[in-house]
Structure 1
Amino acid sequence: MRIFVAGATGVVGRPLVPLLMAAGHQVTGSSRTAEGAARLTALGATGVRADALDPAGLRAVVAAAEPEVVVHQLTDLSGADGAANGRLRREGTRHLVDAAAAAGVRRIVAQSICWAYAPGDGPAGEEVPLDDTPDEARARTVAAVRALERTAAELPDAVVLRYGLLYGPGTWYAPGGAVAAALAGERAVPFLGSTEADDAVSSFVHTADAASAVLAALDWPGGPVNIVDDEPAAARDWLPVLAAALGVPAPVPAAAAGRPGWARGASNALAARRGWRPGRPSWRSGFAAR
């Protein structure tokens, strides 16, 4: 199968491209830099330079690739800039879907997130609507996610993978990453949110497992699917384990104050029914193994 991976040198793209090629697919991967494109070519893929915010350039490289499937792994997280990432979700997705449609592509597998659900009790399934919160900062994030998912769904076969918090090489949760710096008190990262050991519940997924879900999703029915590990957990449980793995001080547990209603984690039951299982079922062992 001919596959175009947008964002092929990102934290999910890096394990994904070799995985797709090992499965026998012909891969064209895009990077914003010439160096990134060269790395993809060295792997045996076709590396191309493209900026998702340049619609004409993106359309040209997608058309040249003649893909049967487009994979959306576009993010702008390196600078911990929420506005830049939101713009990429809105405008970058718009340009990618337009380029795919112009090339006659019917199927897209797109990266989304699993912490945009409305408040409730227990891990959220895909039937839970996205949050309609009036909170300005969260509303901006959810609006960008909603725009991404709606735009992707304009193609006839759109699978939206709602990833948990990504950990693994190159992520904020890796040694030397933004979370390690925040826990060590070296710098504040506003876009990161709280690093308090409180009752807010999150779901995680390792980047290698996120990549394996893309491979599995190439023939899944359209719609959203949560891609998370088996153990949603409160920060007071997972943050000390992460701190130990990173070799930084564990945060002092926060006073019991409940949790935000939306901080509920997500269920991977639908993905499991479709045959996907995480290779790292829990952050408990995954953080240390990296």
Structure 2
Amino acid sequence: MRVLIVCSGNAQVIAPFIVEQVNALKKLDVEIEYFLIKGKGILGYIKNYKALLQKIASFQPNIIHAHYGFSGLLAIFQRRIPVVVTFHGCDIQKRGVNNIISNFVFYLANSSIFVNSKMLNFVIFKKKHTIISCGIDLDEYQYISKEEARINLRFSDKEKLVLFSSSFDEPVKNYDLAKKAVEKLENIKLLELKGYKREEVIQLMHAVDCLLITSIRETGPQVVKEALMCGCPIISVDVGDVKSLIEQVAGCFIVPYDENIIAEKISLVFQNNNRIKGREVIIEKELYNSVIAKKIKDIYTQILNK
């Protein structure tokens, strides 16, 4: 079975969750190559069509698997090779052109995957689909004590550290609310999750006292699964599928968009000063890549058997 992954190539690296999913599929004897799209916007993507046809001719894939709606649009222009599209939220959940194009792609794709069920609120057509979350590589997350992680990252053991879920300058992540909440407490450092390598993120999750999510819109987010794997307490608004992941986890809190309540929960985390049992959640809900890869391969097989 040969699968061509179609995704954006505008960043310096391919999104880690795509790479990890691909690596898990390769372990199931799926032969995979990438087609990386260069350019932005509809026209930028469409300009890659000739190059895509050349890649199809040389690789001869059985399936094309596109990640995000715009990548799916490019993939479905050719009608010879069946197309699977994974929607990650920032495509179909956006209003206007992004939503229209993503729904068009959803309608024409041979199979569609959504990373959480809330995304279905933005779907126009009633059509068969699958909910498959992005997974975690269990082997990558080995236990590190908070003390060791802080030494490695050169943090003081006396610092009170709250990790914000993304970069401060992304409007949808709602940094202003996080900042207001933290400012209501004394001697707390709010860290920006930006510019770290994967292994450094894992160290960071073990080093901080909690993860704070105040986003207006999310799909997963993946950072929640990473925090769970590292035993990092999570304080989050009800966004994406966070609630379904953490509501039963002691030491984690779902909060409203209210800086006072968020500040109360941050203070409570510091009082408790405990790590959480998050790895069990990932295993129980089968949110690790080896299982997810099997589900995706099953979709490929079903399409090819039609």
Report the TM-score, using the length of structure 2 for normalisation.
0.40
Higher RCO structure, 1 or 2 (CA under 8 Å, sep 6+): 1
Larger helix fraction of residues: 2
Q: What TM-score does the superposition give when structure 1 sets the normalisation length?
A: 0.42
